[in-house]
Amino acid sequence: MNKILIYAVLLCMPVISIWGQLIPANAAVAKSGSAELNPIDDTQTKAAEWAASLHLDDAEKAARVQQVIATHLKNVRDWNKEHSYTNVPAGINPVTGKSLSPLDRQVIADSAMPKSVHEDLMAGLRKDLDEAQVGLILDKYTIGKVAFTMNGYRAIVPDLTQKEAATILGFLQQAREQAVDYKSIKEISVIFEIYKTKSEQYLNSNGRNWHELYAAFVKAAKAKKTGTNSPAVKPLPAP
Same-domain status, 103 and 165: no
Instruction: Note whether residue 7 is domain-resident.
Output: no
Based on the structure, what is the number of domains in the chain?
2
Distance between CA atoms of residues 147 and 238, nearest Å = 10
Same-domain status, 130 and 208: no
Distance between CA atoms of residues 47 and 143, nearest Å = 14
Same-domain status, 133 and 196: no
Same-domain status, 176 and 98: no
Same-domain status, 205 and 183: yes
Distance between CA atoms of residues 60 and 127, nearest Å = 12
Distance between CA atoms of residues 180 and 115, nearest Å = 12
pTM: 0.78
Host domain of residue 155? 143-230
Lowest mean pLDDT among 35-44, 65-74, 182-191, 199-208: 35-44
Same-domain status, 148 and 217: yes
Alpha-carbon torsion (66, 68, 74, 77), positive or negative: negative
Summarize pLDDT for 60-106 with one digit per residue, the tens.
999 999 999 999 999 999 999 999 999 999 999 888 899 999 999 99
Instruction: Note whether residue 30 is domain-resident.
Output: no
